[in-house]
């Protein structure tokens, strides 16, 4: 079964030609659209500062998308030095999450520890920050809420949190994330989880935390 196959599958008239160029349709139908949608969901645009967590294929596609959309600075975070080097090759700043605080490293680049928009391109099997850090599924989402300015947005294009029998703990096995929603609410973040619209009519995002007023509760 292929979810939303009418949207995600591309039909090629010549089967043999398609097989010869398999990586091209894969990039066009999955990898690039996922990264692009994450950036669009984050609200990034001309002049924005953007942090992309994860320098895999989707993360690099998101970083390139942010540049296409006019971002002033694109920062990519990962613990794989080769992936970070690839991000620098097309003009991104980088953060090595194995070296400690993401906020501190962003501040060294921007002069402040926050960005306008952020994208989670890591997914459920995230690791905590720091050298030899263990798996900690909620690390990236909590980090993004910490580094995104008040009123900013988080694009979460492909976070799968269904049952994971091989999860690191009981929460992970049941697809449960210990996310700091209170922080996101206090900073009036908008979070969009899911890929692009799955129907011609334009389905709503899978999950969205609506912005709320920043400040103390009124009696």
Mean pLDDT of the chain: 80
Q: What is the rounded distance in angstroms from the CA atom of residue 65 to the CA atom of residue 213? A: 30
- Token pair, residue 210, equals 């609506």
Residue located via tokens 């970070």: 84
pLDDT tens for 17-76 read: 777 777 776 777 678 888 999 999 999 999 999 999 999 999 999 999 999 999 999 999
Residue located via tokens 């990519």: 76
Closest CA to 94 of 104, 84, 86: 84
- How high is the pLDDT of residue 136? 63
């Amino acid at each position: 079964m292929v979810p939303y196959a009418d949207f995600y599958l591309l039909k090629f008239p010549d089967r043999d030609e398609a097989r010869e160029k398999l990586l091209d349709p894969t990039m066009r139908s999955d990898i690039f659209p996922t990264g692009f949608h994450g950036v669009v969901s984050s609200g990034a645009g001309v002049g924005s500062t953007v942090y992309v967590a994860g320098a895999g294929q989707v993360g690099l596609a998101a970083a390139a998308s942010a540049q296409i959309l006019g971002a002033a600075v694109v920062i990519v975070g990962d613990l794989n030095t080769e992936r970070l080097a690839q991000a620098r090759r097309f003009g991104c700043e980088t953060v090595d999450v194995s070296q400690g605080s993401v906020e501190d490293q962003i501040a060294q680049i921007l002069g402040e520890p926050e960005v306008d928009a952020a994208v989670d391109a890591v997914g459920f099997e995230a690791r905590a920050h720091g050298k030899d850090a263990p798996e900690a599924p909620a690390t990236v989402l909590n980090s993004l809420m910490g580094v995104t300015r008040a009123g900013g947005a988080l694009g979460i294009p492909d976070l799968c949190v269904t049952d994971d029998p091989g999860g690191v703990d009981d929460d992970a096995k049941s697809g449960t994330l210990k996310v700091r929603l209170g922080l996101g609410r206090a900073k009036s973040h908008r979070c969009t989880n899911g890929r692009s619209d799955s129907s011609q009519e334009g389905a709503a995002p899978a999950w969205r935390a609506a912005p709320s007023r920043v400040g103390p509760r009124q009696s």
